[in-house]
Structures are given as structure tokens and as C-alpha cells.
Structure 1
Amino acid sequence: MQVVHVAVGVILDAGKNILLTRRHDHLHQGGLWEFPGGKVEQGESLDAALARELHEELAIKPVKTSPLIEIHHDYPDKSVFLDVHVVWEYSGEARGVEGQPMAWVSAAELSDYDFPEANKPIVAAIVLELT
């Protein structure tokens, strides 16, 4: 099974609230909440992929990031490698460019949201990082 490399951003606002987006129903893991990001294209660096995906999805540009966690997860239909970075600073104003719902939540509120199985270790890592 081919592994899909995904650049993921845990985007924080000035109050350390975290930006979540909800996957469209027709997509893989549709209807669940996630941390924004997307596939790293062939020959593309992780930084370039993260910047491109956050611009395409949210109209923002990451300014200051740091690695948080790497996750390998096998779903029945695909394998993913999530390369997760905290976005401490960004330029622009986040908005759902693709019409996806968004929510700014505290680390304590993350447990109130349903995430894809591969995202659950991200939640645990964020709680450790921010508390």
C-alpha cells in the first residue's frame, strides 16, 4: 500500500487557541474535524507543502513553525505519514477558502471534537505542548 505524506499545521492564535477545520462529507474521513494541511507533492519540501496547503485552504502563510510529531497510520484503504508542525505565527486572516467549517478551540476543548484515528496522537501531543 502506498504511503501518503501529509504536511499538517497545528495553527495557534495569540491566545493559543487551535484552528480546526471539518472535512467535507465526500472526502476520506469526511465529516470529522482535522488540523489543516495536505499532501506533499513529488519533489516538494515539507515547508513548501505546508505553506501551499495553508494558503490554498485558509489564505494564510506560516511565518514561524516548529516540529511537533510524526505519525504513521494505516487505514483499511490507505496509509498516511503525518508530518505535523505547530504554526506559532502566520500572516493573513484564516478563512475557509474551500467552504469548510472552522473552529478556534482551546487545548482542553479538543476532546469535544471527533477526529480521524490518525489525528488522535496529535491531540495528545498538543495538550502536552500547551499545558
Structure 2
Amino acid sequence: MSKKRVEVAVGVIMRQQQVFVCLRNQAQHQGGLWEFPGGKIEPGESVFHALQRELKEEVAIDIASSTELMRIEHDYGDKSVCLHIHSVTEFSGEPHGAEGQASKWVAIAALHELDFPAANVAIVEKLQQG
């Protein structure tokens, strides 16, 4: 039986040396941990279009553009993920937890103080290295 592989578009929403993060619902995979918002890429969908759709749904912003930051492949044991991480600095609207999830702006220098899923640790490290 092959393990489920999920392609995910992740948005690192940045403004003035701060990053917007959301708390994963307890019922979700990796629930109770902080994350950079985003979601599954649908078949035939580009990373940018998935990011536009997911960030509109999750944090109620419209993104004008994104820049590829990095890509991470991670195996959680029960499933593997391929995270297509993009930085987002051009957007309209004020991000908030549009699905009722806790959310906040965090200084890049303080990101390591939050608990993230294992696959997100490399994103925090890259952001803090500048």
C-alpha cells in the first residue's frame, strides 16, 4: 500500500519583519501547532492559484503575487507532504483567522518560540537566517 502524498501551497505572509501565522485546529493532522497558512494543491492547479484560493479561504486576503521561497519534502510516517513555500508581501485585506482559527502576527526573530509541525522548522530557520 503506498503512502498518501500531499502537495501543499504554503504562504509566508510578511509585513514589516513580521509573519502571519495560524493555529491548526485540534481535529486536524498536526492539530494544536502553529502554521503558515495554505492548503492542498488541486490536480491541474498551479502553486500560485492554490495559494490565491487557500489564502482567500483561510485568512481572507487577496494576493497580487508570490515569490518561491523554498520547497520541503517531509515524511510524517502516516503521510508525506511536499510543501511549496512562497513568500507573500503584496496582498489586499487584513489577514485574520477567517475559519475561526486563532491567528497573529509574529516577529521573525520570535518565530522559534512557537510550536510548528516538523516540516515547518526549516521555514522558520530560513526566515531567521535572513
In the TM superposition, residue 16 of structure 1 has moved relative to its aligned partner by 2.3
What is the aligned-residue RMSD (CA, Å)? 0.9
In structure 2, the residue matched to 1:48 is 49
In the TM superposition, residue 103 of structure 1 has moved relative to its aligned partner by 1.3
What TM-score do the two structures reach when normalised by structure 2? 0.95
In the TM superposition, residue 107 of structure 1 has moved relative to its aligned partner by 1.0
Q: Does 1:16 align with 2:3?
A: no
Instruction: Give the distance between the partners of 1:69 and 1:99, measured in 2 at CA.
Output: 28
Instruction: Give the distance between the partners of 2:96 and 2:109, measured in 1 at CA.
Output: 23
In structure 2, the residue matched to 1:27 is 28
Higher deviation after alignment, 55-64 or 76-85: 55-64
In structure 2, the residue matched to 1:88 is 89
Count the aligned residue pairs: 128
In the TM superposition, residue 128 of structure 1 has moved relative to its aligned partner by 2.3
Instruction: Give the distance between the partners of 2:62 and 2:92, measured in 1 at CA.
Output: 5
**CA deviations over 1:69-122 (Å, ceiling 9, x no partner):** 100000011000000000011111112111010010111110110000000011
SS of 1:72's partner is strand
In structure 1, the residue matched to 2:7 is 5
Structure 1 gap segments, 5+ residues each: none
Instruction: Give the distance between the partners of 2:128 and 2:65, measured in 1 at CA.
Output: 20
In structure 2, the residue matched to 1:79 is 80
Instruction: Give the distance between the partners of 1:64 and 1:128, measured in 2 at CA.
Output: 23
Instruction: Give the distance between the partners of 2:4 and 2:97, measured in 1 at CA.
Output: 29
